A and B are shown apart, each in its own frame.
Chain A
Amino acid sequence: MPHRRQQHPGPLWRLLSSAGFRFATLFAALFLAAGLGFAGVLWWGTAGTLERQTDSAIRADAQALAERWREAGTDAVIEAIGERLALDADGQALYLLLDPRGQRLAGNLVSLPPGAGEGPAESWHHLTLEHEDEAPGEARLYLLELPGGATLAVGREVSEKQRLRALLTEGLAWAAGAALLFAVLGAWLMRRALERRLTPAVATAALIAGGDLSPRVPLSAHDDEFDRLGASMNTMLDRIAHLMDGVRGVSDAIAHDLRTPIARARNGLEEALLSEDEDPAALRGAIERGIADLDNVTRVFQAVLRIAEVEAGARRAAFAPLDLALLLADAAELYGASAEARGQTLHTGWTAPLNLTGDRDLLLQVVANLLDNAVKFTPPGGNITLSAARDHDQLIIRVADEGPGLTLADRERVGERFFRADQARTTPGSGLGLSLVRAVVQLHGGVLWFENGDGPPDFPGLVVLFRLPAAAAPAV
């Protein structure tokens, strides 16, 4: 197969190229993105709160020390700082008190961070602490200028923030790993599930491609998307099988209905050629019969082509507005003579005009075929009725006879090409007349149907009806 790019895909390629894997990967990526977003919100929420809490504690501490300074002076503050540092077991508190000349008076900080002390009386600073024995830490520092020119700095080391960050990062890494694992597992499971659900359809399609039209996609009880796909595949296959049956029926019928007259013509001519007696009249008769048989073949052939032409919709080109009442009158006049010749009476009934848009030759052919059938199947002395009426925007045309009628089973099949009811086999005809009628009615956007007549049950008569869209009634 030249279309296939990869002849022997490996298992990895199969996994990567599987739709299930792609879906699973997509979902894993979505989950991962959602997780990251969630972690981000969490991060900013917790770290931010921590910072605000730290800041307010620092500010309160600094205010308390400034108050102390105002009440009791520098020495009291130095003492308070000493006390606080002694009490701070975690070693997180930072203090520094500088006199107006910048000399360190108390606290555990060596000096102010560079650039601090030049700004306004109160300011916030970030600084990195250099510990002697530990890793460097981060700190928030609050600088307060006391009225005498001295500077007080109060701060807290905020290593919790770092620890939290590390914790979150670790958690995220685990989560991402788990998501990836689940994605691969999910992909594998999903691919397997998809494959399991699609295998019946694929196998059925393969069988059908192989030439056997009978298999159908087995449906599960889930009634899900796959079942709907399978069901529509089955509907399509039924339709194809029906069409194939139709084609097969037509070719069988052609084989029979055309082969028989061809064979008859051939046999007759051959017999005339081989016969011993050279009676010119017999020879002539044989040749004439041969020609008649061939003419019949041509007629059947033309009827089949005509039906195909009508079914293809090609004859719409000849559509024109016309009054069906005139056409029915012509048909009644043409076939009334035939009915009369058989002692039958043709009754007619309609009110002119019956306007519609259509192909007059084809519509006459329809009425002619129906009347011809009616004359053929009604016993001598019987009645035939051709009537028509306007029903809102439709015209209903009705041809009723007093023939044997049609069984329900035959009614289903009567529009099929070459179909002939059993009791019709002895009468002349090709079995194409009603196929053409049905095709023409459909071409005109109409419907054809059959009803039983009012006769006795074993000989009810047939009523053929068809409905055609009428043209808009002319303004009165």
Chain B
Amino acid sequence: MRILLVEDDAEVGRFVKKGLQEAGHTVEHAANGRDGLFMAAGESFDLLVLDRMLPGGVDGVRLVETLRGQGNHTPVLFLSALGGVDERVKGLKAGGDDYLVKPFAFAELLARVEALGRRPAVDAPATRLKVADLELDLLSRTVTRAGRKIDIQPREFRLLEHLMRHAGQVVTRTMLLEKVWDYHFDPQTNVIDVHVSRLRQKLDKGQEKPLIHTVRNAGYMIRAEP
């Protein structure tokens, strides 16, 4: 992916740029809002990673509003030290697609960047999702593995659907909490882990190849290859 990073802190900028490049992305870095807006409007990017507070008279929110005003719908991920709920809502209202509060784990940023950049088309006509011998039917809401029907609860179905829509990508615990349960809160303990391991037991019982993999220090991923 071609990513524009607009971040005024040199150290954070260098860290994020290096990490994204190592993950195989092309990264352009702008150190202030004016340059960032200039580049975002003039060139084509797959994703913008924006700091909310930027020098140069154009902050992150203004930048996104300007771009959206010009009909530019490149996905935007905000990085911000402003963690208040109002700030988050402001960022998303301005046209941001995701919001990550500093300090953050790079794995979390990378997972969100990849989820945003490869977002499936909104009205995907797909009615079936398939990973290896696991099939998920969105119409009949049934799950089968190797032709055998698996008894699954509604929430587990949504959890599996989310993982399968992002097959091959890391999905973090907070992303699951936000997307599958639709809450923004601190669960204190790893409640998500319990749900994933329960789902995993149902899917992998009696199977040689596990499909749901735990990615150390990051989250979960569903993929065919071990």
Interface set of A (CB-CB < 8 Å, partner B): 288, 291, 294-295, 298-299, 302-303, 305, 309, 314-315, 317-318, 330, 333-335, 337-338, 340-341, 360-362, 364-365, 368-369, 372, 375-376, 429, 433
Instruction: Known contacts A338-B194, A368-B187, A369-B188; decide if A315 and B217 are in contact (CB<8 Å).
Output: no
Task: Let me know if B186 and A315 touch, CB within 8 A.
Answer: no
Q: List, in ascending order, chain B residues with CB within 8 A of A372's CB.
A: 187-189
- Known A-B contacts: A317-B89, A338-B189, A368-B188. Give 17 more (CB < 8 A): A288-B217, A305-B83, A309-B85, A317-B85, A330-B183, A333-B155, A334-B187, A335-B191, A337-B191, A337-B195, A337-B198, A361-B85, A361-B185, A365-B186, A368-B191, A372-B188, A433-B188
Kindly identify which residue among B84, B187, B189 contacts A309, using a CB–CB cutoff of 8 Å: B84
Q: Tell me the smallest distance from the CB of A473 to a CB of chain B, in Å.
A: 26
Q: How far is the CA of A372 from the CA of B191 in the complex (A)?
A: 9
Q: List, in ascending order, chain B residues with CB within 8 A of A291's CB.
A: 105, 217
Total CB contacts across the A-B interface at under 8 A: 61
Task: Let me know if B183 and A361 touch, CB within 8 A.
Answer: yes
Instruction: Known contacts A361-B185, A368-B187; decide if A295 and B105 are in contact (CB<8 Å).
Output: yes
Q: List, in ascending order, chain B residues with CB within 8 A of A433's CB.
A: 188
Q: Tell me the smallest distance from the CB of B89 to a CB of chain A, in Å.
A: 7
The interface centre, meaning the residue of B85, B89, B198 with most chain A CB atoms within 10 A of its CB, is B85
Task: Let me know if A299 and B187 touch, CB within 8 A.
Answer: no
Kindly identify which residue among A303, A314, A360, A429 contacts B86, using a CB–CB cutoff of 8 Å: A314
Q: List, in ascending order, chain A residues with CB within 8 A of B183's CB.
A: 330, 360-361, 364
Q: List, in ascending order, chain B residues with CB within 8 A of A375's CB.
A: 189
Q: List, in ascending order, chain A residues with CB within 8 A of B84's CB.
A: 309, 314
Q: List, in ascending order, chain A residues with CB within 8 A of B184's CB.
A: 361
Q: How far is the CA of A30 from the CA of B143 in the complex (A)?
A: 97
A-B contact pairs, 8 of them (CB 8 A): A295-B105, A298-B103, A317-B85, A330-B181, A333-B155, A360-B183, A372-B187, A376-B189
Task: Let me know if B85 and A315 touch, CB within 8 A.
Answer: yes
Q: List, in ascending order, chain A residues with CB within 8 A of B155's CB.
A: 333
Q: Which residues 78-135 of B have a CB within 8 angstroms of A?
A: 83-86, 89, 101, 103, 105
Q: How far is the CA of A161 from the CA of B1 in the complex (A)?
A: 118
Interface string of B163-190 (1 = CB under 8 A from A): 0000000000000000001011111110
Q: How far is the CA of A450 from the CA of B193 in the complex (A)?
A: 30
Q: Tell me the smallest distance from the CB of B183 to a CB of chain A, in Å.
A: 5
Instruction: Known contacts A314-B86, A315-B85, A364-B183; decide if A341 and B188 are in contact (CB<8 Å).
Output: no
Q: How far is the CA of A335 from the CA of B188 in the complex (A)?
A: 11
The interface centre, meaning the residue of B103, B181, B186 with most chain A CB atoms within 10 A of its CB, is B186
Task: Please list the 8 inter-chain residue pairs (A to B) with the smallest Cβ-Cβ separation, ordered nearest first.
Answer: A365-B185, A337-B194, A372-B188, A361-B184, A364-B183, A338-B194, A341-B194, A334-B191
Report the nearest B residue to A436, measured CB to CB.
B186
Task: Let me know if A302 and B186 touch, CB within 8 A.
Answer: yes
Q: How far is the CA of A291 from the CA of B103 in the complex (A)?
A: 11
Q: Which residues 37-86 of B have a CB within 8 angstroms of A?
A: 83-86
Q: List, in ascending order, chain B residues with CB within 8 A of A333's CB.
A: 155
Report the nearest B residue to A331, measured CB to CB.
B183
Q: Tell me the smallest distance from the CB of B23 to a CB of chain A, in Å.
A: 19
Q: List, in ascending order, chain A residues with CB within 8 A of B186's CB.
A: 299, 302-303, 365
Instruction: Known contacts A298-B103, A365-B185; decide if A338 and B191 are in contact (CB<8 Å).
Output: yes
Q: How far is the CA of A309 from the CA of B190 in the complex (A)?
A: 25
Q: List, in ascending order, chain B residues with CB within 8 A of A303's CB.
A: 186
Q: Tell me the smallest distance from the CB of B197 to a CB of chain A, in Å.
A: 8
Q: Tell me the smallest distance from the CB of B140 to a CB of chain A, in Å.
A: 23
Q: List, in ascending order, chain A residues with CB within 8 A of B185's CB.
A: 361-362, 364-365, 368
Report the nearest B residue to A367, measured CB to CB.
B185
Q: Tell me the smallest distance from the CB of A125 to a CB of chain B, in Å.
A: 96
Report the nearest B residue to A318, measured CB to CB.
B85
Q: List, in ascending order, chain B residues with CB within 8 A of A338's CB.
A: 189, 191, 194
Task: Let me know if B89 and A318 touch, CB within 8 A.
Answer: yes
Q: Tell me the smallest distance from the CB of B102 to a CB of chain A, in Å.
A: 9
Report the nearest A residue to B177, measured CB to CB.
A334
Report the nearest A residue to B182, measured CB to CB.
A330
